[in-house]
């Protein structure tokens, strides 16, 4: 029990410290920190309108967070969510454009599968480079992000360019009929359901199956896992595929529920924010859900802060950076605080 309490109390305390540091930062920038924090709250969770805004941003964050959280369990620090999202979205859009005109259900299912496959293979490559050639996965995943973005830019201004898209180079649209709609009469698209479901499924896979146990074993002690006969290579590849598939699905949803085509907005930083979500959630797929909603809220409040206090849109980036650093620093406190040590009974 004290251990469970610790895993809630330390991140909560770290978030509080981050809020204070951020408050000092905006105070130096010449605004009233209490008013700014109040506006962050209003912009994120203050009304049904802000809630919808928050949840729309939370769904891709859940999926890109899984892209870092799942490989972390096997001991890999993967930051390739951005690239997997871009590739998933791009390939899903290509399939959607090609199949446009067929039954929408069939088109959407094909796009979902394509998105998962494209993102999955993209990150699987990172795992393969690591396992077969011992290439540092953090660096290779980052390089692949830039490569994915270059491929996207090349295709949307070149071979796949829709001449009708003037200001923002885009591919042809996937067609109105093939778009994923909103839940009820809200402005939250069904991506949220996909995000939450994926988190729950992967939590189950990681915590309640022999596969998940094997992954934790490799992540905990590679030598022991090898000696006990686990197929480490296969586990790494499967884990990377699942991680990339989640981010690829996020890209597909951005295309099919928000953009309607593939364009440079796919590369909007969800992949990078997802890394932060994964670290705050301590790589637990279930904890990813509330953390993604929290971070989605901070994102959603960005525009509001800009209008109200004339703070640059990078303000939310600074806030996220502070949270990230404080959360990492808080790792040093696990197992070292007296309050969370099991009490020795004196009886």
Partner 1 sequence: MTESGMGAMGVVIAVLGGAVRVGTPFLFVSLGECLTEKSGRINLGLEGNLVMGAMSGYGIAYLSGSPWLGVLTAGGTGMLLGFVHALLCQQQRVNDIAVGIAMMLFGTGLAFFLGKPFIQPVAPHLPALSLGGWSSSPVIRAALDINVLFIIGALLAPAMSWFFRNAKWGFIIRTVGESRDAALAMGINVNRVRMLATMSGGFLAGIGGSFLSLYYPGAWNEGLSSGQGLMAVALVIFARWNPIYCLYASLLFGGAAALGPALQSVGITWGYYLFNAAPYVLTLGIMIATSSSKQRFAGMPGELGKA
Q: Which is nearer to partner 1, 211 or 272 (CB)?
A: 272
Assess 315 for contact with partner 1 (CB under 8 A).
yes
CA distance 259 to 169: 12
Stretch that binds partner 1, among 39-47, 179-187, 251-259, 330-338 (CB under 8 A): 330-338
Specify burial of residue 228 (Cβ count, 10 A radius: 0-12, 13-18, 19+): exposed
Q: With binding defined as CB under 8 A, does residue 267 bind partner 1?
A: no
Per CB under 8 A, the list member of 200, 231, 325, 337 interacting with partner 1 is 325
> Which residue in 85, 121, 73 sits closest to 247, CA to CA?
85
- What is the dihedral angle through the alpha carbons of 308, 309, 313, 318, rounded to the nearest 10 degrees? -130
213 binds partner 1 (CB under 8 A): no
153 near partner 1 (CB under 8 A): yes
CA distance 241 to 119: 8
User: Would you count residue 140 as binding partner 1 (CB under 8 A)?
Assistant: yes
Determine which residue in the list 132, 209, 226, 337 makes contact with partner 1, applying CB under 8 A.
132
Task: Name the residue nearer to partner 1 (CB basis): 275 or 281.
Answer: 275
Which is nearer to partner 1, 67 or 179 (by Cβ)? 67
In this chain, which stretch among 39-47, 109-117, 199-207, 269-277 interacts with partner 1, using CB under 8 A?
Answer: 269-277
| Choice from 19, 147, 230, 268 touching partner 1 (CB under 8 A) | 147
Q: How far apart are CA 290 and CA 297, in angstroms?
A: 11
In angstroms, give the least distance from the CB of 134 to partner 1.
Answer: 4
Token pair for 274: 């997802």
* Per CB under 8 A, 317 contacts partner 1: yes
Q: For residue 294, give the nearest of 9, 34, 11, 79 by alpha carbon.
A: 11
Return contacts of 341-344, CB within 8 angstroms, 24+ apart. 341/2, 342/2
Residues from 283 through 312 that contact partner 1 (CB under 8 A): 312
Reduced to 3 states (helix: H, G, I; strand: E, B; else coil), residue 235 is helix
Establish if 281 lies at the interface with partner 1 (CB under 8 A).
no
Provide the 8-state DSSP code for 102: B
Q: Sign of the CA dihedral 326, 331, 333, 334? A: positive
What track of x and - describes contact with partner 1 for positions 35 through 74 (by CB under 8 A)? ----------------------------------------
For 175, left (φ over 0), alpha (ψ -120 to 50), or beta?
left
What tokens does 135 get? Answer: 């290439």
Among 1, 166, 332, 344, binds partner 1 (CB under 8 A): 332
Site string for partner 1, 156-185 (x = CB under 8 A): -xx---------------------------
Dihedral angle computed from the Cα positions of residues 70, 4, 14 and 12, in that order, rounded to the nearest 10 degrees: 100
Among 70, 144, 202, 237, binds partner 1 (CB under 8 A): 144
Does 321 contact partner 1 by CB under 8 A? Answer: yes
| Contact in structure between 31 and 23 (CB atoms under 8 Å) | no
- Which segment (56-64, 111-119, 151-159, 197-205) binds partner 1 by CB under 8 A? 151-159
Q: Which residues bind partner 1 (CB under 8 A)?
A: 29, 77, 79, 129, 131-136, 138-140, 142-147, 150-151, 153-154, 157-158, 272, 275-276, 279, 312, 314-315, 317-318, 320-322, 324-325, 328-329, 331-332, 334, 336
């Amino acid at each position: 029990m004290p251990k469970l309490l610790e895993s809630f109390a330390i991140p909560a305390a770290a978030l509080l410290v981050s809020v204070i540091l951020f408050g000092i930062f905006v105070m130096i920038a010449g605004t009233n920190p209490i008013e700014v924090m109040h506006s962050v709250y209003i912009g994120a969770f203050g009304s049904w309108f802000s809630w919808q805004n928050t949840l729309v941003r939370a769904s891709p964050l859940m999926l890109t967070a899984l892209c870092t959280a799942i490989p972390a369990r096997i001991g890999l620090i993967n930051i390739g969510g951005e690239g997997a999202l871009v590739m998933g979205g791009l390939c899903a859009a290509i399939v959607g454009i090609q199949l446009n005109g067929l039954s929408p259900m069939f088109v959407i299912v094909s796009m979902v599968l394509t998105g998962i496959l494209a993102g999955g293979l993209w990150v699987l490559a990172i795992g393969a480079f690591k396992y077969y050639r011992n290439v540092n996965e953090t660096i290779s995943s980052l390089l692949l992000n830039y490569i994915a973005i270059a491929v996207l830019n090349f295709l949307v201004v070149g071979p796949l360019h829709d001449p009708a898209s003037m200001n923002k180079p885009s591919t042809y649209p996937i067609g109105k009929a093939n778009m994923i709609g909103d839940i009820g009469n809200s402005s939250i698209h069904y991506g949220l359901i996909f995000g939450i479901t994926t988190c729950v499924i992967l939590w189950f896979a990681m915590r309640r199956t022999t596969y998940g146990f094997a992954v934790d074993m490799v992540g905990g002690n590679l030598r022991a896992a090898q000696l006990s006969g686990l197929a480490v290579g296969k586990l790494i590849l499967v884990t990377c595929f699942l991680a990339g598939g989640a981010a690829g699905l996020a890209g597909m949803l951005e295309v099919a529920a928000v953009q309607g085509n593939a364009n440079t907005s796919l590369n909007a930083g969800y992949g990078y924010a997802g890394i932060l979500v994964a670290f705050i959630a301590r790589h637990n797929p279930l904890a990813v859900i509330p953390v993604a909603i929290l971070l989605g809220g901070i994102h959603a409040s960005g525009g509001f802060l800009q209008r109200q206090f004339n703070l640059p849109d990078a303000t939310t980036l600074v806030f996220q950076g502070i949270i990230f650093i404080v959360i990492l620093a808080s790792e040093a406190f696990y197992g070292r605080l007296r309050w969370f040590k099991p009490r020795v009974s004196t009886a």
